[in-house]
Amino acid sequence: MKQLLTLLLLSGMFLHASAQSLTDGVFMDKKFLCVGVQYNHDAWEEYWEGDLLRKNGNIGTVSTQSAAIMANYGIFNRLNVIAMLPVVWTEASAGTLTGQRGLQDLTLALKYKAYETAVLGGKFSAQVVAGASLPTTNYVADYLPLSIGLHSKTLFGRGILHYIGEKHLTFLLSGTYIARSNVDIDRTSYYTTQQIYSTEVEMPNAAQFAFRGGYYSFRWGAELLAEHNATLGGFDIRRQDMPFLSNNMDATRVGAQAFYRLPFLADLQVIGTVMQTVQGRNVGKSLTWSAGVTKFFGFAKKQ
């Protein structure tokens, strides 16, 4: 197992902790704090223009990197509060367009374990997450694919079904609904499927379905991930047009995640994730990897 872990780490399987505590089934105990930092790297050369997969010599490979700080605090054993804030920077490998960088959106959420029961020697729980995100700066959103975000305020609700068995086998299913506010842009008119005379862009809401399953113990864990992100509305990028905020962006991604708590560093957790977009619409066919470290503060250990 250690060999496998080493292999995973060496092959760049680092994490995507960004949303980790927002999407996993794990809780901090009361009065315990977990603080983490995470680096994220996303890159694509091919993208879907509507449903046409193509490359574009005027942008080459588009990479989006971010560094986020995140915190998860146990208000009660069954109620956690989670916060996250990333700084994001973008770059295109070809063409003339400049990249962007800046502080992006602050996410804050409450996670509640609504129900828990013993099943087959393990624990099954139903959890809910309710949260919001707000842009922290006046970054330019109408500059896709090189803007650092969409500058929409969001409210999201997530339902999680989580099981962890006696032998540390675990699986999770989740469904998320994301309500997105309209966005103000610098232009006074733009074309979607018709000409609109406003600085305001109507943002369709979005949804996500996710599955994860694998091994989870105190010392280490490794899971396979699959998710489908869907924009509930929006329109396709036209042939040879620029992408736009209110495009119908869909992405199906698969990947894996692993973590290890370093016994010689007071159980500092290192975590890595890799995700590949396998199918999409109006998004890049991206490979995303991330790496993070997480430190727990408190007198008891997590879980």
Partner 1 sequence: MKKIALFAALFLAASFAFYACDKEITENLTTLNQLTPANQDLNAKNWKPVVLLTPDEVALAAPTAANSAEYTQEVADTKNAVNNATAAQKEAIAYWSAGSVLRWNEILRELVAKHNLAPAPNADNTYSFPDANNPFNYPTFPFANPPYSARAYAYAAVAQYDALVAAWHYKNLYNRASAYNTDASIAALVPKNALPGYPNEDAVAAGAAFVILRNLFPGDTTFINEKVAEAANYKKWAGAAVSSDISAGLTLGKAVANKVLNRAKADKMRFAIGSATIWDSLTQSAVIRGETPWISLDSPKRPPMLPLFGQVRPWLFAATDIAVVRPAAPPSTKSAEFQAQLADVKRQCDPNDREKMRIVHYWADGTGTYTPPGHWNYFAAELVYKAQQSEVRAARTFALLGMSLMDAGITCWDTKYFYMVPRPTQVDPDIKTLTGVPNFPAYTSGHSTFSWAAATILAHIFPADAANLSKQAEEASISRVYGGIHYPMDCDAGKFSGQKIGGFAVTRAQTDGAE
For the bound state, the minimum distance from the C-beta of residue 213 to partner 1, rounded and expressed in Å, comes to 30
Q: At 15, give phi and psi (nearest 5°).
A: -95, 160
CB contact at 8 A, 80 and 27: yes
Reading the block at residue 37, the tokens are 């930092």
Exactly one of 2, 3, 194, 266 binds partner 1 (CB under 8 A); that residue is 194
Site for partner 1 in 243-302 (CB under 8 A): none
| Piece of the chain touching partner 1 by CB under 8 A; list 6-14, 15-23, 73-81, 291-299 | 73-81
**Which CB, 153 or 228, lies closer to partner 1?**
153
Q: Which tokens sit at 179?
A: 């309500």
**74 close to 23: Cβ distance less than 8 angstroms:** no
* 77: contact with partner 1 by CB under 8 A: no
Q: Which of 117, 120, 197, 266 binds partner 1 (CB under 8 A)?
A: 197
Q: Which one of residues 43, 108, 128, 232 is an interface residue with partner 1 (CB under 8 A)?
A: 108
Q: Is 238 in the site for partner 1 (CB under 8 A)?
A: yes
Phi/psi of residue 106, nearest 5 degrees: -85, 125
Q: Does 81 bind partner 1 (CB under 8 A)?
A: yes
Q: How many residues bind partner 1 (CB under 8 A)?
A: 52
Helix (H) or strand (E) holding 208: strand 206-216
Q: Is 32 in the site for partner 1 (CB under 8 A)?
A: no
- Is position 167 an interface residue for partner 1 (rule: CB under 8 A)? no
> Rounded to an integer, what distance in angstroms lies between the CA atom of residue 82 and that of residue 84?
7
Q: In the 8-state DSSP scheme, what is residue 14? A: B
Q: Interface residues for partner 1 in 117-156 (CB under 8 A)?
A: 130-132, 134, 138, 140, 142-143, 153, 155
What CA–CA distance (Å, rounded) separates 92 from 203?
Answer: 25
Nearer to partner 1 among residue 134 and residue 265 (C-beta): 134
Member of 196, 207, 232, 254 binding partner 1 (CB under 8 A): 196
By CB under 8 A, is residue 187 in contact with partner 1? Answer: yes
| 203 DSSP assignment | P
The burial of 237, by beta-carbon neighbours within 10 Å (0-12 exposed, 13-18 middle, 19 or more buried), is given as: buried
To partner 1, the closest distance from the beta carbon of 4 in angstroms equals 38
Shortest Å distance, C-beta 81 to partner 1: 5
Token pair 């197992």 in the structure block, residue = 1
Tell me how far, at minimum, the Cβ of 286 lies from partner 1, in Å: 21
Closest distance of CB 10 from partner 1, Å? 35
* Residue whose structure tokens are 């994860």: 212
Kindly report whether the peptide bond that precedes residue 135 is cis, defined as omega within 30 degrees of 0. Answer: no
Nearer to partner 1, 167 or 238 (CB): 238
> Which of 297, 290, 301, 300 lies closest to 35 in space, CA to CA?
297
Q: What angle do CA 52, 253, 293 make, to 5 degrees?
A: 135
Which residue has 């994301």 as its token pair? 178
Three-state DSSP at 156 gives strand
Kindly state the smallest distance separating residue 99's Cβ from partner 1, in Å: 8
Q: Which residues bind partner 1 (CB under 8 A)?
A: 31, 54, 57-58, 73, 75, 79, 81, 94-100, 108-110, 130-132, 134, 138, 140, 142-143, 153, 155, 179, 181-182, 185-191, 194-198, 200-203, 238-242
